[in-house]
Chains A and B, each alone.
Chain A
Amino acid sequence: MREHFLVCPFDEKLLSRLKNERIAIVTNGFEQVHHICESFNDNGNTLHCLVIHYSGSVVSIPFHENLKNIPMAIFANELGPFKEIMARIHMLRELNTRIFLNSDNKANYTNIHILASLGVDCGIFFGENEIDWSALNDLMTYAIYAKVGHATIEPFMYAVKHYSPDKLTDFGTVYFENRESYLHIDKDENIAHTSKDLKAGKFIATGVEALSQIRENKFYQDAEYAWQEFFLNENPCAYCQAWRICVGKFTETFEKNPGCRQFFIDLMDAADFYRTAESKNKKKEIWQP
């Protein structure tokens, strides 16, 4: 089995052509959830996660016991009335689900805070509007430094867990957007590094046969060092000490809203704090049979 996860829409024909793959299926509703799960019985494919881009509020999702064991990443724009969330909170805690809320809705910074404090794993995803870096920093501070136990908040937990001072940390993995971990493929079997590239027609290969040799693919190899372009241009991010943890994700908005710099510096501090705390709490581990 190759190390990449595949990200693709639900297409039975495409699924039948894939073998022994770990797949994240992108969909926009809950009607087909069980049908999608059932279609994973053949070919040795395994469902990595259902990526659900939901246009309604979280409270309008028909959560049910039978969703319990299905890995889901739900991307929604709003949470909905608190009392209705409370009516579903026990179910939400039990599901194998992470709920991502849109940063475009200011109330979501608080909604995520509430959800995490009630034990629901969640995260923020970045919309099209300006990010409130101060509110994001407060949320990150809670996610990493809070003294009382709570559920994880992404992408902060991923970033601090995987942070290493001597290499890049790409929290895009949380959103299924990291060329090291994910490849995106559409129903026509076009393969791209990211969903954005796939939409824009920037393919690295076409045909599921190409997957097994993807590391030898020229476009794939070229992309490996694409990040170095940053440092050859007059880009303000090239001088930012926190680049290694944001990897230039906000370079287009930096001029207008430069709050990202302080945020990611603080995130690096949080990562150091987390690593120190982890090493202090590390238990002795002997060899395993």
Chain B
Amino acid sequence: MAIFNNFHYFCIMANILLTQQCVRSCPYCFAKKHMADSEPDDILSWDNLIYLADLMEHSGEMGISLLGGEPTLHPSFVDFCLYLLERKFHVNVFTSGIMGEKMFNEAERVLSGIHPDRLSFVCNVNNPDKSSFSELENVKRFLKTFGHLTTAGFNIYKPDFNFDFIFQYVNEFGLRRHLRLGLAHPIPGKHNSFVPIDKMKQMAAKLIAYLPVLERLKIKAGFDCGFPLCIFTEEQIGQLYKHNAGHLSFGCGPAVDIGPDMTVWGCFPLSNIQKKSVYEFDSMQDIRKYYMDIHRKTRIEVAGILEDCDECVYRDEQLCMGGCLAHSYTHFFNEANIRFQEIYQ
């Protein structure tokens, strides 16, 4: 829900998982739990794609994000994109950029000429130091062909990070001059890498240190959801305000992810809680309202990632949502079942 500028658009789009399989095993992956619990062979069918496209069109939402796993592993990935484009949807694909030769050639032939207003990619890139040679070559091949349609995405999962390499990608491959910064979140009840709460200010300082170079290269950085306001100093907020022309938000809300088996949940870190079937809802608005309500109730139980969130005037005024709800959920493990019952479902 959060973010700056056009990133807001990505976040209000429903996310449709084409497949549960992935080609990478990132240490921060917040979809890990969901993937592990899912049938690996489960892929979205044509009939379900049409149902979802109808649901969105009926709801007046003409933007769809396709993700996975790795969405390009779906054998009909290119056909699905063509279909949705023909139905006048804006299609945004979250990908690692790693795909087989055959799929890449097909995608290059069919999709590379589509106008950026209709088709876009967010390529989640990892630090080359942590990537294999073949993975890097694959990513570069993807960026070389689809750079003009692509926004780089980088997930922060430790306080000390480095995304210098992205600047080279942006210049070398002509990527869009935006950077989507995600913050890895804990999966309630599971282990994955994420920035601990007490290290968030350190992470924020590192992020702010990047602003001069981002501005010099005319790259706008936007936050994905779950960044709390108070990890930044007043001065840093001023810098961010200028960097993003006043569009600042520190939100956390239901992203609405829909699996190939037509289950729906209110964002990946919470995928093992509150799963429902898409067929239980009449519109995307109904889905959002349902998960908004659960988020709100959870916030009543645990306001935010810090104890101070309870009394925070900025949270009260919804300037900040108190960080990722997944942190709040970690409080509910290993305790008696005493809170609003909806939040356990």
Stretch at the interface among B46-54, B226-234, B259-267: B46-54
* Main SS class of interface, A: helix
Q: Which residues of chain B have C-beta atoms less than 8 A from A142's C-beta?
A: 50
Chain B CB within 10 A, most for which of A113, A114, A146, A148: A148
User: Quick check: B58 and A113 within 8 Å, CB to CB?
Assistant: no
Q: Which residues of chain A have C-beta atoms less than 8 A from B86's C-beta?
A: 86, 89, 118
CB distance from A144 to the nearest CB of B (A): 13
Q: Which residues of chain B have C-beta atoms less than 8 A from A138's C-beta?
A: 47
Q: How far is the CA of A234 from the CA of B83 in the complex (A)?
A: 49
CB distance from A163 to the nearest CB of B (A): 24
The one of A86, A89, A117, A147 that contacts B50, using a Cβ cutoff of 8 Å = A117
Look across to chain A and name the residue whose beta carbon is closest to the beta carbon of B80.
Answer: A82
Q: How far is the CA of A150 from the CA of B54 in the complex (A)?
A: 10
The one of B46, B58, B76 that contacts A147, using a Cβ cutoff of 8 Å = B58
Q: Is the C-beta of B110 less than 8 angstroms from some C-beta in chain A?
A: yes
* Main SS class of interface, B: helix
User: Quick check: A83 and B47 within 8 Å, CB to CB?
Assistant: no
Q: Is the C-beta of A16 less than 8 angstroms from some C-beta in chain B?
A: no
User: Quick check: A118 and B83 within 8 Å, CB to CB?
Assistant: yes
Q: Which residues of chain B have C-beta atoms less than 8 A from A89's C-beta?
A: 86
Q: Which residues of chain B have C-beta atoms less than 8 A from A206's C-beta?
A: none
Query: Sorted from nearest, which 3 A-B pairs have the closest CB atoms?
Result: A148-B54, A82-B79, A147-B58
Q: How far is the CA of A110 from the CA of B79 in the complex (A)?
A: 14
Take A110-B46, A110-B47 as given contacts and tell me if A148 and B57 are in contact as well, using a CB distance cutoff of 8 Å.
yes
Q: How far is the CA of A146 from the CA of B110 in the complex (A)?
A: 30
Task: Mark contacts of A107-147 with chain B using CB atoms, 8 A cut-off: 1 yes-contact digit, 0 otherwise.
Answer: 00010011001100000000000000000001000100011
User: Quick check: A114 and B82 within 8 Å, CB to CB?
Assistant: no
Q: Is the C-beta of B87 less than 8 angstroms from some C-beta in chain A?
A: yes
Q: Is the C-beta of B200 less than 8 angstroms from some C-beta in chain A?
A: no
User: Quick check: A113 and B46 within 8 Å, CB to CB?
Assistant: yes
Q: How far is the CA of A110 from the CA of B46 in the complex (A)?
A: 7
Q: How far is the CA of A86 from the CA of B82 in the complex (A)?
A: 8
Which residues, 248 to 280 on B, are CB-close (under 8 Å) to A? none
Question: Given known contacts A82-B82, A82-B83, A147-B54, what 15 new A-B pairs fall within 8 Å (CB)?
Answer: A82-B76, A83-B110, A86-B82, A86-B83, A86-B86, A110-B45, A110-B46, A113-B50, A114-B83, A117-B50, A117-B53, A117-B54, A118-B83, A142-B50, A147-B58
CB distance from A88 to the nearest CB of B (A): 12
Q: Is the C-beta of B211 less than 8 angstroms from some C-beta in chain A?
A: no
Q: Is the C-beta of B11 less than 8 angstroms from some C-beta in chain A?
A: no
Take A82-B82, A83-B78, A83-B82 as given contacts and tell me if A146 and B54 are in contact as well, using a CB distance cutoff of 8 Å.
yes
Complex A-B: 22 CB contacts under 8 Å: A82-B76, A82-B79, A83-B79, A83-B82, A83-B110, A86-B83, A86-B86, A89-B86, A110-B47, A113-B46, A114-B50, A114-B83, A117-B50, A117-B53, A117-B54, A118-B83, A118-B87, A147-B54, A147-B58, A148-B54, A148-B57, A148-B58
Q: Which residues of chain B have C-beta atoms less than 8 A from A147's C-beta?
A: 54, 58
- For A, the interface residue count at a CB cutoff of 8 angstroms equals 14
CB distance from B10 to the nearest CB of A (A): 23
Q: Which residues of chain A have C-beta atoms less than 8 A from B87's C-beta?
A: 117-118
Look across to chain A and name the residue whose beta carbon is closest to the beta carbon of B46.
Answer: A110
Q: Which residues of chain B have C-beta atoms less than 8 A from A82's C-beta?
A: 76, 79, 82-83
Q: How far is the CA of A238 from the CA of B54 in the complex (A)?
A: 39
Which residues, 291 to 317 on B, are CB-close (under 8 Å) to A? none
Which residues, 58 to 103 on A, are CB-close (under 8 Å) to B? 82-83, 86, 89
CB distance from B6 to the nearest CB of A (A): 27
Look across to chain B and name the residue whose beta carbon is closest to the beta carbon of A142.
Answer: B50
Q: How far is the CA of A138 from the CA of B51 in the complex (A)?
A: 11
CB distance from B202 to the nearest CB of A (A): 49
Look across to chain A and name the residue whose beta carbon is closest to the beta carbon of B282.
Answer: A147
Which residues, 60 to 83 on B, are CB-close (under 8 Å) to A? 76, 78-79, 82-83
Look across to chain B and name the residue whose beta carbon is closest to the beta carbon of A107.
Answer: B46
Q: Which residues of chain A have C-beta atoms less than 8 A from B50's C-beta?
A: 113-114, 117, 142
Q: Which residues of chain A have C-beta atoms less than 8 A from B57's C-beta?
A: 148
Task: Mark contacts of A142-159 with chain B using CB atoms, 8 A cut-off: 1 yes-contact digit, 0 otherwise.
Answer: 100011100000000000
Q: Which residues of chain B have C-beta atoms less than 8 A from A148's C-beta?
A: 53-54, 57-58
User: Quick check: B46 and A114 within 8 Å, CB to CB?
Assistant: yes
Q: How far is the CA of A83 from the CA of B107 in the complex (A)?
A: 12
Chain B CB within 10 A, most for which of A86, A117, A138, A147: A117
